[in-house]
Amino acid sequence: MRIPVIAGNWKMHKTVDEALTFLKTLRSGNLPGKVETVICAPYPALPALVEAAEGSGIGIGAQNLHWAEEGAYTGEVSARMLTDIGVRYAIIGHSERRAYFAETDETVNRKGKTALQHGLVPILCVGESLEEREQERTKQVVREQIVRALEGLGSEEVKRVILAYEPIWAIGTGRASTAEDAGEVIGFIRRTVADLYDQQVANEVRMLYGGSVKPDNIEAFLAEAEIDGALVGGASLDPESFRQLIAAGGKKR
Ligand code: PGA
């Protein structure tokens, strides 16, 4: 039985004060227990969020990290710095980082390994562009990204990874994938993991859909057996909307 995951990706939004107001509002209502809730926030808000989330069951995540232990990498943040302040997750290989910050399958692989070595849960993102989808290359592209992202990871490590399928054309566009299409691609990703490891490992890995998930479409995604939750950008910024997404996650069976 895979525990559903609802993860917010705040991207470059919210000051410390805004983050704390969000969390206070979110905590003022009931949150369902049977869903793993994660907020991935910008670095400056992380320490305050970790403290404010204590006892709530909400996990706090970063949106990136560097693969090296430490060193001359101006502007970067290491896994040890994140775990030191109580961060438990890190988004890795988001398509915005691949597009604007030159991340490659190789850096994604290195970052994933470092995250796991430090006990962080990597939320590893894959997904095809509109052009690749139109050329009917979605599965080929996603398979390649998965194979390269997981290269060198053992079974026990892979079981701790959360995979997020985010078609690039669906991110921030209001144009979500259909639940059926997302379910099919995620089913394919699970078969890919089974090919690389075995079925039992594949059955344990949580796999999320991301791309224009909102309170009014999340239930359709969660109704797909293969989809274990969502990685949500825009709709995670408002506490009421995020609460509705968590509530939907709590009803997944
Ligand atoms: P969106 O972003 O929900 O705003 O489409 C999703 C993501 O980038 O993770």
List the beta bridge partners of residue 40. Answer: 9, 61
Q: Indicate the top mutation candidate among 38, 171, 217, 245 to test ligand 1's pocket, ranked by most ligand atoms within 8 A of CB.
A: 171
Give the range of the structural domain holding residue 206, as residue numbers without chain letter: 5-250
**Per-residue tokens: 146:** 């998965």
pTM over 0.95: yes
Distance, CA 150 to ligand 1 centroid (Å)?
A: 23
What is the predicted pLDDT for the residue at 32? 79
Count Cβ atoms within 10 A of the Cβ of residue 186 and give its class: 0-12 exposed, 13-18 middle, 19 or more buried: buried
What is the predicted pLDDT for the residue at 183? 98
Helix (H, G, I), strand (E, B) or coil at 68: coil
Structurally, the chain folds into a number of domains equal to 1
Q: Indicate the top mutation candidate among 212, 217, 236, 237 to test ligand 1's pocket, ranked by most ligand atoms within 8 A of CB.
A: 212
What is the predicted pLDDT for the residue at 131? 97
Identify the H or E element spanning 231: strand 229-232
Distance, CA 75 to ligand 1 centroid (Å)?
A: 24
Q: Is the dihedral of CA 61, 80, 53, 34 positive or negative?
A: positive
Distance, CA 240 to ligand 1 centroid (Å)?
A: 17
Q: Indicate the top mutation candidate among 232, 241, 242, 244 to test ligand 1's pocket, ranked by most ligand atoms within 8 A of CB.
A: 232
Ligand 1 atom closest to 9 (CA): 9
Ligand 1 atom closest to 91 (CA): 9
CATH number of domain containing 85: 3.20.20.70
Instruction: Tell me how far apart the alpha carbons of residues 8 and 68 are, in angstroms, rounded to a whole number.
Output: 26
pLDDT digits (tens, 9 = 90+) for 46-91: 999 999 999 999 999 999 999 999 999 999 999 999 999 999 999 9
Q: What residue ranges of the chain have pLDDT lower than 70? A: none
Distance, CA 153 to ligand 1 centroid (Å)?
A: 27
Distance, CA 71 to ligand 1 centroid (Å)?
A: 32
Q: Which residue has its alpha carbon closest to ligand 1 atom 1?
A: 233
Q: Is 59 touching ligand 1 by the criterion CB < 6 Å?
A: no
Ligand 1 atom closest to 170 (CA): 5
Q: Which residues are catalytic?
A: 94, 166
Task: Yes or no: say if 30 and 59 are a contact pair by the CB < 8 Å rule.
Answer: no
Identify the H or E element spanning 36: strand 36-40
Q: Is 127 touching ligand 1 by the criterion CB < 6 Å?
A: no
What is the predicted pLDDT for the residue at 44? 98
Distance, CA 74 to ligand 1 centroid (Å)?
A: 28
